[in-house]
Chains A and B, each alone.
Chain A
């Protein structure tokens, strides 16, 4: 009995220690974001928050036009997430509910997106944007991202578990496939839709290399590039307090989305790992 208690306490203590270790970098970033420039450079480094947080946030906000950058990130991340949800539902529906010529060829093709990350096609992809006159437009930031292997697999997996009686009943009631998809399958897929939304929103908000290439116009830059802008000012000494305040702004939206929807996210992960 005593051994059991010791085991439980030891386990909790180990986990709390690891958790504190993992959280510490963000805590330190926050502490620096709350100090004046001079205090941020104090030695040894300060470990308790100061009172300058709002002032620093305001400075980071105005220096990089952060409101605009975050708005762009939000527009792009939401558009891509929703677009991926719609496109992958449609494709997964086709792959699970119809027999059609070319199905065995088209399905693996939808899986190759994972094999072709941006760097393996970067130069022609960039030239394509230029030839479409899509540089410095939302199109370049949104449309190339709309196909989703993860999404198609996730919905396919779920649609396969739906018993045949449901589509049969819909057919008997005279509902066509699209009607069935919209009124039966989509409402049943709520958890998967939410899971895919979290995964794709976080992914898209955090994209860096492609937005860096296809946008040069400051009013179309995204929040991640704002970090680069904050770091590369003409000042010789890095203003870590302002940089960290900006970093906290940039990391907050995906963090909030993930924390609010953590259950759906965990379920999505569980679905993915049993494929």
Chain B
């Protein structure tokens, strides 16, 4: 890149300083401290701290509640990602058809994005309230099975996933619309001319062309399902019933701030970081592979 304002030596540093300072002080340093803490053990009154190697991690992976939490998190994230992305891709494909009036729907789906996970949690807790929820009522009328997410673990996680998918729908639809509008029409036309039906055209041309968008949304939804969803869970189930919805971030919160096991919680933070990093690398890999392919 050519410098558009050559000769300024100090100014660029002053310009990036505020952002970089915030990142270092509040993000990078605390994360490094968490990594260090995860290899130490502090005595109950915080007086003595000693190096214990990988003991926190050994404790972590031999703790059945943690392993269960790990499985629950992945199960929940898979539900949210697969369910949410396929539903929103379906909607986005419909609203980008060349038919009059579609512009209205393109904005009409955005709004769930404005609702917080906590708000979604209150609304879905009402919807499936065992006593007065319309969802509970309709479900038992249709199937004859009565559901109660406050005592049935399997039901609770499914309802949480539905609430999360609903909450993220606006965001996902929005990104898929933008992605679909970037797919060159000529490619789809060419496939059609070659005799491919709409279904084949979609899977052979459109869907692969969308892979950067999909990869990005997989990343954002993973972050959502692992972290942002805290408010939803704290409002709806608090990790219950019987730990059935205690995903990693909720267990971390309880171990850190209710059971006050800082070192143990820090090891959990590091594991979470590894999960985020893996997802980010996956996203980067998909989008760069795409770029090479296009060239």
Contacts and interface: CB of A to CB of B under 8 A. Distances in A.
Interface of A: 7-8, 11-12, 14-15, 18-19, 22, 25-26, 28-29, 32, 40-45, 47, 87-88, 90-91, 93-100, 103, 106, 109-110, 112-126, 128, 143-144, 146-148, 152, 164, 167-168, 171, 176-178, 180, 202, 205-209, 212-213, 224, 227-228, 231, 238, 240, 243-244, 247, 250-251, 254-255, 257-259, 262, 265-266, 269-270, 272-274
A25 B127 contact: yes
Given A19-B108, A91-B16, A98-B5, A247 B257 contact: no
Given A177-B11, A231-B235, A90 B111 contact: no
Given A91-B15, A273-B179, A265 B110 contact: yes
Nearest to A252: B114
Interface string B175-202: 1001101100000000000000000000
Given A94-B12, A177-B8, A228-B235, A120 B22 contact: no
Contacts of B25: 128
B19 A255 contact: no
Interface string B89-109: 001001101011100011111
| Most chain B beta-carbon contacts within 10 A, residue among A88, A90, A96, A164 | A90
Nearest to B281: A115
A22 B280 contact: no
Give the secondary structure class of A's interface: helix
Interface stretch (B61-69, B78-86, B261-269): B261-269
Contacts, number: 286
A217 to B, nearest CB: 17
| Most chain B beta-carbon contacts within 10 A, residue among A15, A41, A95, A266 | A15
B123 interface: yes
A2 to B, nearest CB: 15
B56 interface: no
A87 B17 CA distance: 9
Contacts of A251: 114-116, 119
Interface of B: 1-6, 8-9, 11-13, 15-16, 18-20, 22-23, 25-31, 33-34, 37, 91, 94-95, 97, 99-101, 105-119, 121-127, 129, 131-134, 137, 166, 169, 174-175, 178-179, 181-182, 213, 216, 223, 226-227, 230-231, 234-235, 248-249, 252-253, 256-257, 262, 265-266, 269-270, 272-273, 276-277, 280
Contacts of B13: 94, 100
A127 to B, nearest CB: 8
A41 B131 contact: yes
The 3 A-B pairs of least Cβ separation, nearest first, read: A206-B116, A208-B231, A94-B15
A250 B119 CA distance: 8
B265 A45 contact: no
| Most chain B beta-carbon contacts within 10 A, residue among A18, A44, A146, A148 | A18
B14 to A, nearest CB: 8
Given A15-B91, A121-B30, 13 more contacts: A18-B91, A91-B16, A91-B20, A96-B1, A99-B2, A110-B20, A123-B262, A123-B266, A126-B257, A176-B5, A206-B115, A207-B116, A250-B116
| Most chain B beta-carbon contacts within 10 A, residue among A47, A122, A258 | A122
A164 B132 contact: no
Contacts of B114: 202, 251, 254-255, 257-259
Given A29-B123, A202-B113, A269-B174, A98 B27 contact: no
Given A122-B256, A177-B8, A144 B277 contact: no
B22 A123 contact: no
Contacts of A209: 230-231, 249, 253
A92 to B, nearest CB: 9
Contact of B124 (A25, A100, A208, A213): A25
